Structure 1
Amino acid sequence: MRLLVISQYFWPENFRINDLVEGLLERSHEVTVLTGLPNYPSGKLSPGFGFGGPYKGRFGGAQVIRVPLVPRGNGRAIRLVLNYFSFALTASLLGGWRCKGPYDAILVFEPSPVTVGIPARVISRLKGAPILFWVQDLWPESLSATGAVKSPRALNAVAGLVRWIYRGCAKVLVQSEAFVQPLLDLGVDADKIRYFPNSAEAIYQAPPARQAWTAPALPTGFRIMFAGNIGAAQSIETMLAAAEILRSHPDIHWIVVGDGRLATWLKEEVARRGLGAHIHLVGHFPLAAMPEWFAQADLMFASLRRDPVFALTIPSKIQSYLACAKPIVAALDGEGARVVNLSGAGVAVPAEDARGLAEAVLKIYKMDSSGRKVLGDNGRKYYEKHFDREKLLDKLDEWLSEVKKK
């Protein structure tokens, strides 16, 4: 099939859509990706990119078409609004012209922002191609949960936009089964909704290879690793408080691999609280390096803020942790906690429960290596049953065939 993938984020930015495109190419689909200039998470255009382009490129066998946007900068509200709507505008105006059709279907990847659906609907109308819309974040719920938008009038306006986007989709794919009811509440037909959880990139499922980069020296002892975005949704405060509680265990170390809006704040807080010997911020690394980082960890960590909307989601890092056969400790509610507990891969405590998190860490810390291996193996088995990449690609192929433009 000839597919158009629309995503505000794409390689060299590290998002699940990169691997999904690779999977579609492996299955002999012809793929074009419409995306923006890469600027996540730093807020600055990635090396090799500028407002002069390049606006065309390749990603494996896929053609990549880029449009200009306003970089997200420091991540403050006004810059994010400009970032979101500049992509929606330029992709709507230029996308249909730059992406030479026809296409059998359009696949949209939607972490925040939902505004990626605007160019999808415009191009769908121009090309006559059906849309499959993959929902990673619920809008407008995510806006209110993070405190980004508090005005009821603004939230209602966003809800109206979301209804309009969903109304134009042939299928709406959800990364969590708990997303189904909110979509039904917005008027999405039940027969349009399909459960399509995140998988993990294939590199997580093989022994890690040594990378060319030189890893920072990590402290010896028991290493708890957090990997990914450092933002408001992640409730990094919970980790800080748990580290303070465990201060009397000098061999317990928290390793943070990632970047984001709150990275500078986190660095300052670690210094202010005198936690420099316990929390180690190593920065952002490419996806290819992550399995090697994970291999150095004794325990993987995930957290989210306490909010009903975050209780509905499964953080995509959970699938990566499971795929690597690593034990997991998590401070989150709802679906994410259910997966951690049901898999037998570790312990989930309520969101923002720092004392519970500290106790869960101690429980796994006191296990011998064979006990921790059992947890990791349990997680790997659960991953293979519920999140296996090839099984999920089989489902996507089936849905694409169902909606294929006649």
Structure 2
Amino acid sequence: MHILFLTDNFPPEVNAPASRTFEHCREWAAAGHKVTVITCAPNFPKGKVFSGYRNRLWQKEEMCGISVVRVWSYITANEGFARRVIDYLSYMISALLASLFIRRADIVIGTSPQFFTACAAYGVGWLKKIPFVFELRDIWPESIRAVGAMNQSAALGGLEKLELFLYRKAALVVSVTHSFREDLTGRGIDREKIRVVTNGLDATRFKPQGKDQTLVERHGLAGKFVSGYIGTHGLAHGLETVLDAAEAISCRPSGEKYRFLFLGDGAHKAQLIALATTKQLKNVIFVDTVSKDEVVKYWSLLDASIIHLKKNELFRSVIPSKLFECMGMGIPVLHGVEGESAGIVEKENVGLVFQPENAEELCRKLVELSEDGALRRRLSINGQLAASRYDRRALASKMLGYLEDLVAGRPPKYDL
């Protein structure tokens, strides 16, 4: 089977969409299938092309058995709604045109968050007369409204109509959460063609290890209790709450022992740094995006991982992929996301849940975790045990089975 995959994020980018796509495609190629990925020059999130790449009409490389085609797109930083839409549209057009030169594909997949990639995949499926699969990683454009990036308007209504059109036209929708499936079903999409393949982790990469002593010394973390946020610093993440907690804990008698590490980039990072400066926070460390190998070294520094999204009904259906990486590393989680992901944390007993945007509760839970070594050990062990149930290899195999059924004309097996 020849699988054609359209995504505007791919390694060496290190965000969640890039990692999921790469790890799935790597497993499909290892299983003997031909896999072609059409993407763009790596540039996320700063909007600067990575070293060794250029923003050309066509570049080709091989990566772990995957044929990677990189096409031109309008490149901008992950900020500014209008420019990002131009970025998305340019990739959509380039990917659609490039697909015409990919021979004998049996199936095409387009992945969100933004669905202009799925638009391109729909077009490819129609032109090549092959099944189109919509991989649903985010309910977009509703997520735009949720973070206040765009108010209700005719344009937003038009995007939502296009969104529903793509769901209806897809031969298969692969959702990353059960909540997304319920959302689509509630909006009239045929439940029988929606399958769930959650996010997970590369268990060969994310596993327990001692703190990287070079980084401990570099950032002055010896003897400190380190909590941290690793990932995109966007509007949706509400990381002001973490800074408020850092300010509150610094006023405690034992406040000197705590450090807060922020690793990553995003549209809201400059504002967060400015806020930390205004608050004169001495216990906060900001680090720019690093390579995948370096990310694991930074994970090793954490005694607790903070996962947070704003308090919004939409985010109840989201499962941050970093949750699974924390499990694999054996890092207890302080989880400030309501809904399905909080249910996983509680069911697997891998962390403590706090109310989103509640800095006081985050501070209280952080102190509880730091002062109870037995609790930390228990949560760490539970995380390592639970991680095996979210191994990316097994999840990639599950999704591959759905794709094989679709190409063979069989109804994909239904998962409860």
Alignment match, 1:95? 98
CA deviation after TM superposition for structure 1 residue 186, in Å: 3.3
* Shift in CA distance, 89/54, structure 1 to aligned 2, threshold 3 Å: closer
Q: Which residue matches 1:388?
A: 391
How far residue 209 of structure 1 moved from its aligned partner, in angstroms, is 9.7
Q: What is the alpha-carbon distance in structure 2 between the residues aligned to residue 204 and residue 307 of structure 1? A: 32
Q: Is the 8 A contact 2:180 2:317 kept in 1?
A: yes
Alignment gaps of 5+ in structure 1: none
SS class of match (1:137): coil
Aligned residue in 2 for 1:192: 193
Partner of 1:268 in structure 2?
A: 274
Counterpart of 2:124 in structure 1 is: 123
Partner of 1:323: 328
Q: Distance in 2 between matches of 1:96 and 1:299?
A: 44
Does the residue aligned with 1:306 lie in a helix, a strand or coil? coil
CA distance in 2, matches of 1:293, 1:158: 38
Instruction: Quickly say closer, same or farther: Cα 1:209–1:121, change in 2 above 3 A.
Output: farther
Q: For residues 130 and 124 of structure 1, what CA distance do their matches in structure 2 show?
A: 6
Give the 3-state SS of the residue equivalent to 1:309 in structure 2.
Answer: helix
What corresponds to 2:413 in structure 1? none
| CA deviation after TM superposition for structure 1 residue 393, in Å | 2.2
Distance 1:209 1:116, change over 3 A: farther
Deviation by residue 1:30-81 (Cα, 9 ceiling, x = unmatched): 1100112221011122222233366212212111112211112361122111
Kept after mapping to 2: 8 A contact 1:95/1:119 = no
Match of residue 109, structure 2, among 107, 126, 137: 107
Q: Kindly provide the CA deviation profile for residues 225-269 of structure 1, in whole angstroms up to 9, marking residues without a partner as x.
A: 211101101111110111111013111111111111112111111
Q: Give how far 1:95 is off.
A: 2.4
- CA apart distance, 1:389: 2.1
Letter in 2 for 1:77: F
> For residues 292 and 343 of structure 1, what CA distance do their matches in structure 2 show?
25
* Residues in 2 aligned to 1:138 and 1:147: alpha-carbon distance in whole angstroms: 15
CA distance in 2, matches of 1:20, 1:394: 8
**Equivalent of residue 255 in structure 1, options 251, 254, 261:** 261
| Secondary structure at the counterpart of residue 181 of structure 1 | helix
Structure-1 residue corresponding to 2:77: 73
| 1:239 aligned residue | 242
Secondary structure class of the residue paired with 1:200: coil
Q: CA deviation at 1:363?
A: 0.8
User: 1:110-159: per-residue Cα shift (whole Å, max 9, x none)?
Assistant: 12x11111110111112222122211110221111011221332221111
Count, aligned residues: 399
Compared with structure 1, are the counterparts of its residues 284 and 81 closer, same or farther at alpha carbon in structure 2 (3 Å cutoff)? same
Equivalent of 1:299 in 304, 308, 317: 304
Mark the runs of 5 or more structure 2 residues left unpaired by the alignment: 410-416
Structure 2 residue 21 is the aligned partner of structure 1 residue 17: yes
Instruction: Provide the secondary structure at the position in 2 that maps to 1:250.
Output: helix
Instruction: Report the TM-score, using the length of structure 1 for normalisation.
Output: 0.93
Normalised TM-score (structure 2): 0.91
Change (3 A) 1:129 1:74: closer
Q: Give per-residue Cα distances to partners, 1:337-374, cap 9 Å, x unaligned.
A: 21112211110111111111111101101112x43121
Superposition pairs of residues 205-244 of structure 1, within 5 angstroms: 205-207=206-208, 216-220=218-222, 221-244=224-247
2:4 maps to a residue whose letter is L
For the residues of structure 1 that align with 2:292 and 2:55, how far apart are their CA atoms?
A: 25
Read off the aligned partner of 1:265 and give its amino acid letter.
Answer: Q
Instruction: Quote the Cα distance in structure 1 between the aligned partners of 2:78 and 2:88.
Output: 14
| Aligned: 1:38 with 2:39 | no
Counterpart amino acid of 1:318?
L
**Paired residues of 1:130 and 1:405 also in contact (CA < 8 A):** no
Q: Separation in 2 of the partners of 1:390 and 1:284? A: 26
| Aligned-pair CA distance for 1:405 | 5.7
CA distance in 2, matches of 1:209, 1:108: 38
Q: Deviations over 1:71-113 (max 9, x none)?
A: 1236112211111111112222x12223x221121222212x1
1:52 aligns with 2:56: yes
Secondary structure of 2:54's aligned partner: coil
Amino acid of the structure 2 residue aligned with 1:237: E
Report the secondary structure of 2:256's partner residue. coil
2:124 & 2:35 partners in 1: Cα distance?
15
Q: Which amino acid aligns with 1:140?
A: P
Please say if residues 242 and 359 of structure 2, whose CA atoms lie closer than 8 Å, have aligned partners that are also in contact.
Answer: yes
Maintained 8 Å contact 1:145/1:309: yes
Match of 1:3 in 2: 3
Aligned partner of residue 330 in structure 1, secondary structure: strand
**Secondary structure of 1:87's aligned partner:** helix
C-alpha contact (below 8 Å) 1:109/1:133 kept by paired residues: yes
What's 1:160 paired with?
161
Q: Matches of 2:78 and 2:139 in 1, distance apart?
A: 23
1:173: which partner in 2?
174
Q: Name the stretch that deviates more: 193-202 or 148-157.
A: 148-157
SS where residue 301 of structure 1 aligns? strand
Contact 1:129–1:405 (CA under 8 A) maintained in structure 2: no
Q: What is the alpha-carbon root mean square deviation over aligned residues?
A: 2.0
Please point out which of 364, 372, 375 is paired with 2:369. Answer: 364
